[in-house]
Amino acid sequence: MTGDGRRLGDSRRRRTIGTPRSPAEKPVLQAIGLSRTYGRGETLVRAVDGIDLDVSAGQTLAVTGPSGCGKSTLLQLLGGLDRPTRGQVRLGGRRIDDLGERSLARLRRRATGFVFQDFQLMDELTAAENVELPALLAGASPRTARARATALLDRVGLDGRGRHLPSELSGGQRQRVAVARALVNEPLVVLADEPTGNLDSAATRDILRLFDELRAAGQTLVVVTHDERVAATADRVVSLRDGSLVDDTRLDGATAPLGALLSWEG
Ligand SMILES: Nc1ncnc2c1ncn2[C@@H]1O[C@H](COP(=O)(O)OP(=O)(O)OP(=O)(O)O)[C@@H](O)[C@H]1O
Ligand SMILES: [Mg+2]
């Protein structure tokens, strides 16, 4: 059961394979026939194997599945951290998988925000400096970057901690800094890979609450997770097996018109 009374397995859950569309939902993020293989011949691994996926603006999507099924690979492809072997990724309607390195680096700074299981903060920078850095790299003035960092640290419940080094913060606090950093350039999408994987229950609850606030604020969010509690806070859950999408479930029936679901199931 989640905080607002929804439950995995709730009767409102509707199961469908594929990606239901409705004219009202404009995808902000799209995978089209997306594949990523590693190695060749006998050692070939199909980490992501022909995935079609639309994520609409404001949607929170959880990606689940067993270890090795391709979740991290998919997330890295969606965020421009890796390139597909086949297929396309579109962000904000624009194809990104074929961009040059410089354009891709720019896009990663401005249009996506990543959150990782191990936080990946810069140890020698303070919490505020960690949040400011991507803003400075994207061309914000030091003053603007500082103002945004202060506001975001406040928003994630860390006001007064801006001058602390990551080593002086708890795991949950470090992850909240990482979420603030992911938001600093107002990305089209936040992508998180097992963001609660290194956290205890109390810190996990803090991050869940934060994600819920992001959802309420209309932030598009893709979260890879093993944790049912995390998945249960999403609008939609997709499951992967061996690099393929095997299940696509709307937790909030209101966002998926039944007709669209039936036509895809038929
Ligand atoms: N750099 C790489 N070289 C070769 N194979 C890789 C590489 N990265 C991932 N793989 C393989 O691709 C498949 C998908 O890996 P991926 O890390 O995406 O899985 P995952 O679902 O995120 O797993 P986990 O839940 O354990 O994090 C696995 O079989 C993995 O061994
Ligand atoms: Mg992974």
Q: What is the mean pLDDT of each run of 10 residues along the chain (266 residues)?
A: 39 41 72 96 95 96 96 97 96 94 92 96 98 96 98 94 97 96 96 95 92 93 92 93 95 47 32
- Looking at residue 251, its pLDDT comes to 86
Please tell me the distance between residue 241's alpha carbon and the centre of ligand 1 in angstroms: 12
Strands of the 27-38 sheet, one edge to the other:
45-56, 27-38, 86-91, 94-95
Distance 74 CA to ligand 1 centre (A): 10
The ligand 1 atom nearest the CA atom of 224: 22
Strand order from edge to edge, sheet including 220-224: 14-16, 244-250, 236-241, 60-64, 220-224, 189-193, 112-116
Q: What is the pTM of this model?
A: 0.86
Which residue has its alpha carbon closest to ligand 1 atom 25?
Answer: 67
List residues, by chain if needed, whose CB lies under 5 Å from ion ligand 2.
Answer: 72
Q: To which CATH superfamily is domain 14-22+57-79+100-265 assigned?
A: P-loop containing nucleotide triphosphate hydrolases (3.40.50.300)
- Please state whether beta strands 27-38 and 86-91 pair in parallel, antiparallel, or not at all (unpaired): antiparallel
Centre of ligand 2 to C-alpha 148, Å, is: 30
Q: What is the pLDDT of residue 24?
A: 53
Closest residue CA from atom 24 of ligand 1: 67
Residue 167: predicted pLDDT? 97
- Residue 91, pLDDT score: 96
- Helix, strand or coil for residue 249? strand
User: In angstroms, what is the span from residue 24 Cα to ligand 2's centroid?
Assistant: 32
Contact 196, 204 (CB under 8 A): yes
CA 50 to mean position of chain CA atoms? 20
SS3 230: helix
Residue with CA closest to ligand 1 atom 13: 47
**Which residues are near ligand 1 (CB < 6 Å)?**
38, 45, 47, 65, 67-73
How do residues 208-242 score in pLDDT, each as one tens digit?
999 999 999 999 999 999 888 889 889 999 999 99
